[in-house]
Amino acid sequence: MSMTKEQEEKFKKLGLSSCIELALVVPSSYEDLRVHEKLQIHTMQLIDATVESVCRAPNSLQITFFAHNFGHLITGVLFRPKPYMLHQFKVGDRDYYYGMVECKSGFCSMSMPKKVTNIGAITPKYKSALRSDVMFRLIQSSLTKENLISEGLKEEIAEELLHVHFPAQIVPNLRDLEPKIVDALKYSELFSYMKQLSNKRRYFKALTSTCSDYEKWAQTLPFRLTHEQVKSIEEIKADFSKELSARRMIVGDVGSGKTMVILASALMMLPNRSVLMAPTTILANQLYAEAKKFLPDIKIALVTSKTKDINLDEYDFIIGTHALLYRELPCASLVMVDEQHRFGTAQRNLLEKLVSSGEKKPHFLQFSATPIPRTQAMIETAHIDVSLITTTPFKKDITSRVIHKNDFKELLEHIKMEIQSGNQVLLVYPLVEQSEVLEYQSIDEARGFWEKRFSNVYVTHGKDKEKEEVLLEFNKSGAILIATTVVEVGISLPRLSTVVIVGAERLGLSTLHQLRGRVSRTGLKGYCFLYTNQSSSERLDRFTQTSSGFDIANLDLKFRKGGDLLKGHNQSGSQFKWVDLAEDEEIVKSVKEDLGKRK
Ligand code: ADP
Ligand code: MG
């Protein structure tokens, strides 16, 4: 729509950029200035009344009205009346007054009656950065069906939205809006959000749009790729064959086999070069080892901070850490980032920039081990393509249990047994600063206990500069690792069979799930103990019964109110006012479909 300067300023003041967003600022209440014949108790309403008498008291003014529309006497009460109010009510005058009516045993009163003139309309009241009447005029001038439709909204949705702001017959009760209207608000909220997301997506010509075969290679593997691994690879294959550069996020639980998708992608990119960045040296090393093993015929380079000068031009597949960002890189047709949430957007973009030249861009794949709710994934597809890997190649056998103080002895026994049979145990404790406000021991308070009773105890935490070395040492010769949630990263500790999480209720379900994903990575029987002082927690109980990360993500939505203390921010804060990601899958679907049709 074309806006006047004045309208533009008001939109700016409200922080809104479209009429749909304006429509989503719903009234906080309505003034019903129509004349009704039926009196309603405890409701703001209009009376057409003659003043019968006026009675002044020190702090109040009492007016007896005869309400013609109800045929009833109503006593108006003004507390601490302003001087001008004293002259507003003259015996014998007939006017319209508006106020809250209450009745008790036949006696009716209206507190703070207000003289009104704009009779016959239902007027919405707004609480926003603008004064209510200014807001109302803005709505009247810019919120039209045509404008909403021109922003892409369907006619029937636009009509429902208009009902909220221009109620015709029935005053909407905001606490209990009609389901049809609520759905329209949800739809519009999503539509607006996803439309903006899709506007953010940039389309670039791809450096290459050829794609080699991966099927023959897949047959040489010691296992069969899972259905969803194949599906992701096929989606990537289709991306690679397009003129536009791919932007895809592959989301799969820890252990779902994303590395095979990475390797297949590098393979399909041949004879062109691929670059892969991982968040830690350990992970880069692991990926490098797997790449060497499964892609023996490809020239693969490893780049970490320790890497001396090597001529990267000679390699088809470059695997590295952040160190990649600090050196000159040859052009590449495919950029991949593993554990993408460990990097900032700037770092991911920089890598892409370092390997591209000119207008054309490499294909870009990001891998994430943080399962997201299906609805969230659908929303993301507005600006990035998403592949989900929801299954793992082999089912992990992990027993999860919530435990309390009186289970501690049994826990100690269990730990002893595991260590005796050559397995390793991870104990997750809060950091010192965090334990001050919590009733749990911190790492520093707890380590003495374990070090006294066991040998080969290793300790590390997020701020520990040596944490990678400690993890490597532990992997080789450790029995117990005491740590904070640093071990969240996708490192592999093949002998780890047990994880104990102290103060588990402090953590979000997805964090708990990441921690649980550390154990039983190679088919070992695994145990996950959630140690808590809380006597009961439905959230933790449900967690112990759920194993798929995607189910956990959906569960997390349901228990949103529990934030994630450790991460220092509340993950439960939803970006939506109307949409409930746990329940509104159908609406997300229809918005996605409708937005797709517009292209
Ligand atoms: P993640 O998704 O966490 O990166 P990985 O790629 O590290 O998972 O895979 C976990 C383990 O599963 C690895 O040891 C890998 O070799 C193995 N694996 C991957 N795909 C399959 C498969 N289709 N069948 C059996 N094992 C597989
Ligand atoms: Mg991985």
* Position in ligand 1 atom list of the atom nearest CA 261: 6
Contact 453, 482 (CB under 8 A): no
How much of the chain is helix, strand and coil, in % rounded to 5?
40, 20, 40
369 lines ligand 1 (CB under 6 A): yes
Among 253, 260, 392, 487, name the best residue to mutate to test ligand 1's pocket (greatest count of ligand atoms within 8 A of Cβ).
260
User: Can you give the pLDDT at residue 566?
Assistant: 36
User: Can you give the pLDDT at residue 599?
Assistant: 59
Mean pLDDT, residues 129-143: 91
Contact 492, 521 (CB under 8 A): yes
The Cα–Cα gap between 272 and 315 comes to 10
The Cα–Cα gap between 230 and 421 comes to 37
End-to-end CA distance of the chain: 20
Ligand lying nearest the CA atom of residue 255: 1
User: Can you give the pLDDT at residue 567?
Assistant: 36
Q: How far is C-alpha 242 from the geometric centre of its chain's CA atoms?
A: 30
520 lines ligand 1 (CB under 6 A): no
* Position in ligand 1 atom list of the atom nearest CA 259: 6
The bridge status of strand 60-67 relative to strand 72-79 is: antiparallel
Q: How far is the CA of 394 from the centre of ligand 1 (A)?
A: 9
259 lines ligand 1 (CB under 6 A): yes
Residue 172's pLDDT band (cuts 50, 70, 90):
low
Q: How far is the CA of 367 from the centre of ligand 1 (A)?
A: 14
User: Can you give the pLDDT at residue 296?
Assistant: 94
Burial (CB count <10 Å: 0-12, 13-18, 19+), residue 153? buried
Query: Of the ranges 116-130, 213-227, 559-573, which is most confident?
Result: 213-227
The answer to whether residue 488 scores a pLDDT higher than 60 is no
Q: Residue 587 has which token pair?
A: 């609406």
Angle made by CA atoms 88, 94, 98, in degrees to the nearest 5: 65
Q: What is the SS3 assignment for 432? A: helix
255 lines ligand 1 (CB under 6 A): yes
The Cα–Cα gap between 426 and 494 comes to 12
User: Can you give the pLDDT at residue 502?
Assistant: 94
The Cα–Cα gap between 301 and 315 comes to 6
Ligand lying nearest the CA atom of residue 256: 1
Q: How far is the CA of 362 from the centre of ligand 2 (A)?
A: 22
- pLDDT 10s digits, 78-94: 999 888 887 888 999 99
419 lines ligand 1 (CB under 6 A): no
The reply to whether the predicted model has a pTM over 0.95 is no
User: Can you give the pLDDT at residue 30?
Assistant: 86
Nearest alpha carbon to residue 369 among 491, 467, 269, 266: 491
User: Can you give the pLDDT at residue 564?
Assistant: 38
User: Can you give the pLDDT at residue 569?
Assistant: 35
The answer to whether residue 561 scores a pLDDT higher than 60 is no
Among 219, 259, 283, 368, name the best residue to mutate to test ligand 1's pocket (greatest count of ligand atoms within 8 A of Cβ).
259
Mean pLDDT, residues 137-152: 93
Ligand lying nearest the CA atom of residue 492: 1
| Percent of the chain residues past pLDDT 70, beyond the cut | 94
Q: How far is the CA of 294 from the centre of ligand 2 (A)?
A: 15
Q: Residue 65 has which token pair?
A: 């009205």
Q: Is the link from the previous residue into 271 a cis peptide, with omega within 30 of 0? A: yes
Say which residue the tokens 């969230």 belong to.
Answer: 376
Q: Mean of the per-residue pLDDT values for the chain?
A: 89
490 lines ligand 1 (CB under 6 A): yes
User: Can you give the pLDDT at residue 226?
Assistant: 95
* Position in ligand 1 atom list of the atom nearest CA 290: 16
- Using only the alpha carbons of the chain, give its radius of gyration: 32
User: Can you give the pLDDT at residue 568?
Assistant: 32
- pLDDT 10s digits, 175-226: 778 889 999 999 999 999 999 998 888 889 998 888 889 999 999 999 999 9
Across the chain, which distance is largest between two alpha carbons, in Å? Answer: 102
The bridge status of strand 424-428 relative to strand 480-483 is: parallel
Contact 41, 104 (CB under 8 A): no
Q: How far is the CA of 599 from the centre of ligand 2 (A)?
A: 35
